[in-house]
Chains A and B, each alone.
Chain A
Amino acid sequence: MTTPSHVDVRDLSVTVRRPDGTLLRIVDSVSFSIPRGEVLALIGESGSGKTTIALSLMGYARGGAVISGQIRVGNASLDGVGPASLAAQRGNRITYVAQSAAAAFNPSRRIIDQVIEPALIHRTAAAPAARERAIGLFRALALPTPETIGERYPHELSGGQLQRLMAAMALITKPDVVIFDEPTTALDVTTQVEVLQAFRRVFREEGATGVYVSHDLAVVAQMADHILVLNGGKVREQNSAATLIAEPQDDYTRMLMSAAQPVVQAITPPAPKAATPLLEIDGIFAGYGPIDREGRPANPVLSAVSLSIGKGAALGVIGESGSGKSTVARVVAGLLTPTAGTVSLDGEVLAPTLAERTREQLRRVQIVFQNADVALNPAHSVGEILARPLRFYHGKTGADARRRVNELLDLTRLPSSVIDRRCGELSGGQKQRVNLARALAAEPDIILCDEVTSALDTVVRGAILDLLGDLRRDLGLAYLFISHDIATVKALCDEIVVFYKGTRVEHGTSDAYAAPPYHPYTELLITSVPELRPGWLADYPYQPVAPVANVTQSSDICRFLQRCPRSRQGLCDIAAPPLRTLENGSRILCHLDTSELAH
């Protein structure tokens, strides 16, 4: 007996009208079906139409796009029905989990009111019953204090918690289909694992049918039964998750899979270290907020951070959000004045603030931010953006500057046609190249890269990493490369530093991070990265560790203690961890030695 599929989509197309009046098909004749209780993943790069398809399942299109084709969910047909019938389905039979729960929750309303709102407006439950179901879901999603967490406002909760609360909101009406739109993309790897585990568990319990949108094949492999690969609004391949990953048929699928594991052509490490490193950071303390009488900021971030980078070397800095890795870059760049410690360039101590540094010092240290959209002036053309540092640092104007701008575009492999365009008209990868070209215009000795590849798709990320590698080889640039993604850092850098809560917990060569032993926190970071095989999540060994009660808030003891699966009572919670050197040359801040950490 063949059961009719639960969700059925035939010849779905979505068309937008471009500013010049021509029509553009952003989704082209896509068909799929999902049996009840299964999860279909839509995977592709940005612009592949995956989110557009997911939203059109709710009869919703952004920016006045037009949906055509047949869409059936459960017993309801969604094509060609009016706004009232659509509103009756949305949030009721079909629900949505947005990419950034932090932005998608209303900041001025309590969580619980927002979570039960769909049940109330669609009258699937009365308020007390809905509240009870919400608390049950909070518990199933492993949220802390499920009875009272709903009384809080969004700004009082973390990103991972909000993402799970949003899943509770999506499940409150017992929907026919739940759409997950990149629900873990904005999270740290360690948080991502917890959230994915919670999603999987609750999906099993609820028997829900889902659509999971992601650009990350490894994540999708954990969550989906079927995978649909999209590119440019067209289906490239559609198969069961296990088959697709084991035997990808389409070239594009294979490219996605290889891009998930970035490899940068090996670079011969720079000549043996000169007497003075290019950049040296010594004993930096820094933070935000007003500074008290003893010189401590209200929110201390970095404590006693020391690093050094040789000429042409690449040092990677990894850690979760809030670990202080971006603060390091801000201190080096002079954007944040440290409360103690020094930054020196070629042995010469740099002034703590931008205003006191010489133009030459400014030129030699450039910073590139994560988000090119925000960092580049949207009112200026690419040519103007690049011409400005040329005039400021090198006094180049007119034809001279024009020639150099073209060289910079060549260097970053951008077509010279972009010179008169504004950044808003460029793709994400192109914008990040412009962002890099702007830093290169100064002809710096070192570039501080702050999460420069984090907002990019895997394929684009690979291309930017290649470019960074080539620039380093050709121009002898040094990098301080900050990222939360260990695979990216390993691909590009010679040495890696791991940050946890503003302290350096491990420092070693990239090769040392290939296998244990490492610091327990590094271990957590590395094992949290999803692997490209179904079942990885089910086998994932890590369980959240119950916090050690009544830890004395001494700044000396290990900061990772509360989350450490290897912590030892009577050792870790009493004394400060020593700085020890492991057999592979890595230096770690831990009580345990090589043999204890190796397995």
Chain B
Amino acid sequence: MSGSASAQRPTWIAPLRLIAARIGAALLTLLLVSMVIFAISGLLPGDAAQEALGQGATAGQIAALRHEMGLDQPGPVRYVRWLGGIVKGDPGTSIVANQPVSKIISERLPNTLRLAALTSMVAVPLAFLIGVFSAIARGRRLDRALNVLTLSMVALPEFLVATLAVLLFAVKLRWLPSIALVPQEPTLGEFLRAYTMPVISLAVIVVAQMARMIRAAIIAELDRPYVEMARLKGVRPGRLIFRHVLPNAIGPIVNAMALSLSYLFGGAIIVETIFSYPGLASLMVNAVTSRDMPLLQACAMIFCATYLLLVLIADTVAILANPQLRKG
């Protein structure tokens, strides 16, 4: 009976505060992660100066190069200098390629983004449909069939999916190229031919994960009393799902999507390798093998930042979708 008289505060204050808190937490996490990345990359065996000069270098040459690269400075000093560089958009110079890390990454990042975006465009609607339909048909034949399908998709290792796809489409049927090389000015046909197999291989695992989590989120809602009430109001199944259930399930669903999509960045390594696709994940693996610390650290930061960004977006959507949080 109170409330009507309560002072009118702008309605956007409460959600804004919550979202600001989430952003703060994300930035703090990123800072902690940067420390961990820096500390761990220092633990990797081998020395960049040693690696650069090869076996025949004298101790004096190595020491000189170490000094030149700033490797003889104490850890905290190097960390602060490195973090400052990252913030300014200059994560240093690649030791191996002798080029600015930012330049190397700017060549690879669009490729990874493009592959991730294409895969999302395929995977999100597909996962959504599978999740919704198997939730509605819970326990019935359609649900069981979709369950078997998604479970086997989760269980299949992606190198197997990718290899089988290559064997089938490239070797046997000769429909698609086995290497995802996109020419400079691709036609739509060339573009699709290049991306089909990588996208399929990545989508298989992502769709399965997302579909299972979406199904679980919707089923959890379907058991709640307001769904029975809606049925007793004569609400038809389509409206029930879209108008009644989804607004309540959207929080868990977007979180499930964020987790799956973040995999498209760091987890694409196998697909990138099999299709010789020049993305970030393979760049990072190369950086590990060649002890290219500045490049490795920058890649790791990008993956973490992407992950945090996706989770942040998911949290924001969840906050805005929930009137209890939205209205504070």
Residues of A within 8 A of B (CB): 55, 58, 60, 62, 87-92, 95-96, 98, 100, 103-109, 117-118, 121-122, 144-145, 148, 152-153, 155-156, 158, 169, 547
Contacts and interface: CB of A to CB of B under 8 A. Distances in A.
A582 B31 CA distance: 67
A60 B226 contact: no
Contacts of B233: 90-91, 95-96, 117-118, 121, 169
Contacts of A145: 4
Contacts of B247: 106, 108-109
Contacts of B235: 87, 91, 117, 121
Contacts of B322: 108
Task: List 3 A-B pairs, minimum CB-CB distance, nearest first.
Answer: A91-B233, A91-B234, A90-B234
A163 B234 CA distance: 20
Contacts of A158: 1
A156 B3 contact: yes
B232 A144 contact: no
B184 to A, nearest CB: 49
B interface majority secondary structure: helix
Contacts of A144: 1, 4
A104 B4 contact: no
A121 B234 contact: yes
Interface string B209-236: 0000000000000001110111111111
Contacts of B321: 108
Contacts of A98: 225, 228-229, 232
Given A103-B226, A106-B226, A158-B1, A153 B234 contact: no
B17 interface: no
B234 A104 contact: no
B111 interface: no
Contacts of B229: 96, 98, 104-106
A interface majority secondary structure: loop
B114 interface: no
A105 B234 contact: no
Nearest to A92: B234
A132 B228 CA distance: 26
Contact of A155 (B232, B234, B244, B323): B323
A87 B234 contact: yes
B306 interface: no
A90 B327 contact: no
Nearest to A155: B324
A376 B243 CA distance: 36
24 contacts: A62-B228, A88-B234, A89-B234, A90-B232, A91-B235, A92-B234, A95-B233, A96-B233, A98-B229, A104-B228, A105-B226, A106-B226, A107-B248, A107-B323, A108-B322, A117-B235, A118-B233, A121-B235, A121-B236, A122-B234, A144-B4, A152-B3, A153-B327, A155-B324
Given A87-B235, A121-B235, 8 more contacts: A91-B232, A98-B229, A100-B225, A103-B224, A105-B229, A106-B226, A106-B229, A122-B234
Contacts of B225: 98, 100, 103-104
Nearest to A148: B4
Nearest to B248: A108
Interface string B1-18: 101100000000000000
A90 B224 contact: no
B239 interface: yes
Given A89-B234, A96-B229, A121 B239 contact: yes
B41 to A, nearest CB: 40
Contacts of A169: 233
Given A108-B247, A121-B239, A156 B327 contact: yes
Contacts of A103: 224-226
A87 B236 contact: yes
A195 to B, nearest CB: 14
Interface in B226-266: 226, 228-236, 239, 243-244, 247-248
Contacts of A104: 225-226, 228-229
A88 B231 CA distance: 11
Given A90-B234, A96-B229, A106 B3 contact: no
A144 B230 CA distance: 25
B173 to A, nearest CB: 45
Nearest to A107: B248
Contact of B232 (A58, A88, A109): A58
B66 to A, nearest CB: 52
Given A100-B225, A104-B225, A153-B324, A90 B231 contact: yes
Contacts of B234: 87-92, 118, 121-122
Nearest to A157: B3
Nearest to A62: B228
Nearest to A98: B229
Nearest to A99: B225
A155 B226 CA distance: 14
Contacts of B327: 153, 156
A348 to B, nearest CB: 42
A336 to B, nearest CB: 23
Nearest to B244: A106
Contacts of A153: 323-324, 327
Nearest to B323: A153
A384 B150 CA distance: 38
Interface in B124-159: none
A109 B326 CA distance: 12
A103 B1 CA distance: 20
A145 B5 CA distance: 11
Given A98-B225, A121-B235, A145-B4, A106 B230 contact: yes
Contacts of B226: 103-107
Contact of B248 (A62, A96, A106): A106
A156 B328 CA distance: 11
Which of B235, B244, B323 has the largest count of A CB atoms less than 10 A from its CB? B323
Contacts of A88: 234
Contacts of B3: 152, 156
Contacts of A156: 3, 327
Contacts of A108: 247-248, 321-323
Interface in B301-328: 321-324, 327
A115 to B, nearest CB: 10
Nearest to A181: B232
A92 B234 CA distance: 7
A106 B1 CA distance: 20
B115 to A, nearest CB: 35
Nearest to A113: B243
A98 B225 CA distance: 9
Which of B3, B224, B226, B233 has the largest count of A CB atoms less than 10 A from its CB? B233
Contacts of B224: 103
Contacts of B231: 60, 90
Contacts of A117: 233, 235
A87 B233 CA distance: 8
Contacts of B248: 106-108
A100 B230 CA distance: 14
B268 to A, nearest CB: 35
Contacts of B244: 106, 109
Contacts of A152: 3
A58 B247 CA distance: 27
B291 to A, nearest CB: 49
A376 B116 CA distance: 47
A98 B327 CA distance: 26
Contacts of B230: 106
A586 B306 CA distance: 67
Interface in B29-83: none
B73 to A, nearest CB: 44
Contacts of A96: 229, 232-233
A155 B324 CA distance: 7
A60 B3 CA distance: 38
Contacts of A89: 234
A90 B236 CA distance: 11
Contacts of A95: 232-233
A598 to B, nearest CB: 31
A60 B324 contact: no
